[in-house]
């Protein structure tokens, strides 16, 4: 918070003036109130509804441990740093995939193309036997022991560098071990509760 002190002569600095202008005004509050159903929803619902408006690339996060494979559909997988190369994946601690990643200390992010809608829906489900998720698709095992989707848009393999627990999820920070990209398919995108294709994608 910027201390609300004044300069000599009792005048506010330009920085303090800009900070004051950033606070919501009555006009802003009135505008937000016109959003459909905004006032009737609690904060958690408004937050989740807002996130649904963000278009995200869809990925399958996979891992393996004790000769068993697991994975999940994710949109919360993104880069953290280029130098050194680091990735972030956010995983619900109740998911089976969380256990695979925690115990194996490695994972693979398989970014999906528009042809992978069925795979994305399958990996979004909680199955009693996680191996059932690998019943469709072209799968292999990488040199690092991760399940890898052979026709994915891109794959990024990581070793777990750090795990941070916050709220319902763990944030896995992964050191990039390898990466590969294909250029003959378009990315699968998730927005407003459904899968979509980028307009004008070649």
Average pLDDT along the chain: 82
Does position 169 have pLDDT exceeding 90, yes or no?
A: yes
Does position 199 have pLDDT exceeding 80, yes or no?
A: no
Domain 56-197 has CATH 3.30.413.10: no
Does position 184 have pLDDT exceeding 80, yes or no?
A: no
Does position 148 have pLDDT exceeding 60, yes or no?
A: yes
Q: What's the pLDDT score for residue 104?
A: 97
DSSP readout, 7-64?
-TTSPPPHHHHHHHHTSPPHHHHHHHHTSTTTTTS-HHHHHHHHHHTS-EE-EEEEEE
Over pLDDT 90: what percentage of the chain?
57
Does position 1 have pLDDT exceeding 50, yes or no?
A: no
Q: How many CB atoms lie within 10 A of CB 155?
A: 22
pLDDT tens digit sequence for 40-91? 677 777 766 666 666 578 999 999 999 999 999 998 899 999 999 999 999 9
The domains of the chain are located at 14-52, 56-197
């Amino acid at each position: 918070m910027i201390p609300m002190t004044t300069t000599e002569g009792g005048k506010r600095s330009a920085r303090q003036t800009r900070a004051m202008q950033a606070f919501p005004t009555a006009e802003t509050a009135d505008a937000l109130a016109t959003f459909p159903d905004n006032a009737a929803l609690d904060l958690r619902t408004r937050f989740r509804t807002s996130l649904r408006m963000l278009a995200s690339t869809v990925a399958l996060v996979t891992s393996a441990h004790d000769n068993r494979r697991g994975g999940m559909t994710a949109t919360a997988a993104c880069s953290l740093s280029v130098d050194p190369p680091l990735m972030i994946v956010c995983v619900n601690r109740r998911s089976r995939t969380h256990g695979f990643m925690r115990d194996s200390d490695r994972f693979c992010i398989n970014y999906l193309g528009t042809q992978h809608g069925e795979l994305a829906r399958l990996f979004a489900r909680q199955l009693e036997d996680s191996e059932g998720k690998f019943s469709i698709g072209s799968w292999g095992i990488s040199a690092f022991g991760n399940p890898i989707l052979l026709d994915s848009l891109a794959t990024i393999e990581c070793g777990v560098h750090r795990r941070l627990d916050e709220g319902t999820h763990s944030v896995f920070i992964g050191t990039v071990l390898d990466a590969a990209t294909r250029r003959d398919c378009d990315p699968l995108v998730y927005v407003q509760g459904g899968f979509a294709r980028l307009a004008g994608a070649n």
